[in-house]
Amino acid sequence: MATFTAKPVENLLRAKSVAIIGASQKGAWPMGIYRNLKGAKFPGGVYLINPNYQELYGDKCYPNLAACPEVPDELLILIPTRAVLGVLEEAAKLGTRSATIYTAGFGEGDDEKGKERAQQMRELCDRTGMVICGPNCMGSYSVGAGLWTFPTATPLLKKGPVGLIFQSGGSLGNWIKGATERGIGFSYAISSGNEVSLDLVDYLSFLIDDPDTKVITLMVEGIRRPAEFMAEAERALKIGKPILAVKLGRSEMGKRQAISHTGSLAGADEVFDAMCKRLGIVRCPTLEDMTEITLAFMLGRFPKGSRAAIVVNSGGMKGLICDHCEDLNTNLAQLSDKTKEAVRPLIPPELAVENPLECGVAGFGDEAGFINIVKLHAEDPGVDLMAIHGELPRGQTRNADLFKSVLEATDKPVLAFGRSTYSCTDESRAFQEEARMPFLQAIKPTLRALAGLGLYGERRIAGVAKLPEANGNPAVLEGEMLSKLLQSKGIGLPKQALANSATDAAARAKEIGFPVALKLIAADVVHKTESGAVVLGLKNADEVQSEGQKLLAKSSGKAQLLVQEMVQGTEVLIGARTDPQYGPFLMVGLGGIFVEVLKDVSLRLLPVDEKEARAMLTELRGYKVLQGVRGQGPRDVDALVKAMVGLSEVFSAHRNTLSDMEINPIMVRAQGQGAAAVDVRLVRK
């Protein structure tokens, strides 16, 4: 695990006094910050700095920092770019410990002068010990302390368990308003801007240590220190602080935007996703999903698994849920016979006792009866968590005690949800708080919330697998020794033999049995198919000799011919390589159109064990091909899993020597007949 020393974020987020540099009648942001501080009842000094005014907003205005009655802990800087560094130098000499810089012009995009200014700012921070939020940010909220330095109008935020770090200030301001309407309370909320000084990892470390923060929610454009980020995420997992994340850069256009906007490099989204799965970080595909998933995690209950039970009162709602369950691969619990027998007399006889459960009339107008059915599901040992139909009141009088009683009857997570979105009122929020149950909106976000809770619960129990030391002997990656190594790791090989000439290849082919494949092995030929270095289906020795001579002529250096039996089976690609940000990973995908056109692949960071390998396969859209389709029986998935684990072990041990290792394809034969690595490609560093 990477170690680092976090910068003193508390200098910024726990400042006792602030100075607004660039306070003015003309700018909306200085006035907005002032009003937010006063509205939040910030108890410390708020000093307005502008030599052109003696009074602003009905308060005294000072010509410079030295004229203030005390040295402010934090500067809130809204002045032209050219003047910022001078003000920071002056403040550092006076003893100011932190600054929030709203001004842009410090390294965004391709501005070389801006990058120079950003470097000067870093050097100033290193020299003086000052910490900076931004530049080009929109401030932060220390909710309980009333230190609200956000520049736009803010609703009355409720203190609560959620800490936010957004690399987009505008998105933070927009999201926090909607989240507040839904009853979400906050400890801190930070827009990090260009991260010249304090960055995502520093803020994350602060929130992990903060006793008031129970859930951490991120909007990420790029991670500057991935190793440290992963170490902090693992620490959060160990102490039970969930991290939820929206990640920009999923598309090529999104990646370009992330780079131009923050100067960060957006890593490959698939590898980022693999990192999240390894560390129990719950990804939210949209900001709307983030709201629902945050509510779900605010409950503070984590399941032991992902098996979900869903109870609703409407057949139409059940139908919608079933459609989305299939799309989202929801892990529906199998109800026990005991549960089914207990539920049977409580619902109309024409309705099936199954999961999801439709209660029909038992769920309409008889909330107590509905809750009783829910409690029976909660008692089932095969159920890890639940979602139940429930909407917040808007204009009608209802008692929250029934929903509260569900949570009192079980320690499992239980989420109430409605089939679509609706507006909340003060009455709605009060009901949710009294019920102590989160009320989610819309079916798909609710199912994603269930999946997120399940992922987090399982990862907490499993822990984070440690990557072994890279201690492989490079000598075993050659010739016959490589074949023996692969087979010892469960990676089956076809019948094959190396030949130094076309004549020798023909002889080897007779021993193997026709038809055979012939491949050119040469240092200057990496991708055999693209180079025309593979010939398939040779039926006799004459064909092997003729094609062998043609292949050898393609290489200008030392070359050999590999003669292989023609293997029948389903083509699968498995490969391992090292991502520069997140480390070594394993990839699997079905061959042909699935990989090349549909990009149907699954990734995990190494090491990968048997359970993880099986989970990877089930994520593939083409997994049904391995289960058997169109008259073909199931493939030997066990052999494929063994090969995936073997490749994980080989690459882990030799990752200091290899930059890439790929088996493309491994042919997966019928169930019980194994799998054969037809083409193994190694790329050495």
pLDDT in tens, 439-450: 999 999 999 999
CA distance 398 to 400: 6
Reported pTM? 0.91
pLDDT for 258 equals: 43
Would the pLDDT of 362 be above 90? no
CA distance 384 to 288: 25
Mean predicted lDDT score pLDDT of the chain: 92
pLDDT in tens, 456-498: 999 999 999 999 999 989 999 988 899 999 999 999 999 989 9
Q: Is 495-565 assigned to CATH 3.30.1490.20?
A: yes
Would the pLDDT of 396 be above 60? yes
pLDDT in tens, 584-600: 999 999 987 677 777 88
When pLDDT is cut at 50, 70 and 90, the band that residue 263 belongs to is very low
**CATH classification number, 301-462, choose in 1.25.40.10, 3.40.50.720, 3.30.1360.120, 3.40.50.261:** 3.40.50.261
pLDDT in tens, 536-554: 999 999 999 999 999 998 8
**CATH classification number, 10-295, choose in 2.60.120.10, 3.40.50.261, 1.10.12.10, 3.40.50.2300:** 3.40.50.261
Would the pLDDT of 256 be above 50? no
pLDDT in tens, 123-174: 999 999 999 999 999 999 999 999 999 999 888 899 999 999 999 999 999 9
According to CATH, the topology of domain 570-684 is D-amino Acid Aminotransferase; Chain A, domain 1 (3.30.470)
Of the candidates 167, 136, 132, the one whose C-alpha atom is nearest the C-alpha of residue 151 is 136
DSSP character string of 338-407: HHHHHHGGGS-TTS---SSEE-GGGGSS-HHHHHHHHHHHHH-TT--EEEEE----SSS---THHHHHHH
Spans of all domains in the chain: 10-295, 301-462, 495-565, 570-684
The amino acid that residue 305 corresponds to is G
Angle at 290 between CA 104 and CA 3, to 5 degrees: 65
CA distance 395 to 425: 9
The answer to whether the bond into 665 is cis (omega within 30° of 0) is yes
Of the candidates 144, 140, 146, 139, the one whose C-alpha atom is nearest the C-alpha of residue 161 is 144
Where b means 16+ CB within 10 Å and e means fewer, 85-119 reads: eebbeebbeeebbbbbbbbbbbbbeeeeebeebbe
Domain 301-462 matches domain 495-565 at the CATH topology level: no
Of the candidates 393, 389, 391, 384, the one whose C-alpha atom is nearest the C-alpha of residue 373 is 389
Query: If phi over 0 gives left and psi between -120 and 50 gives alpha, with beta otherwise, what is residue 176?
Result: alpha
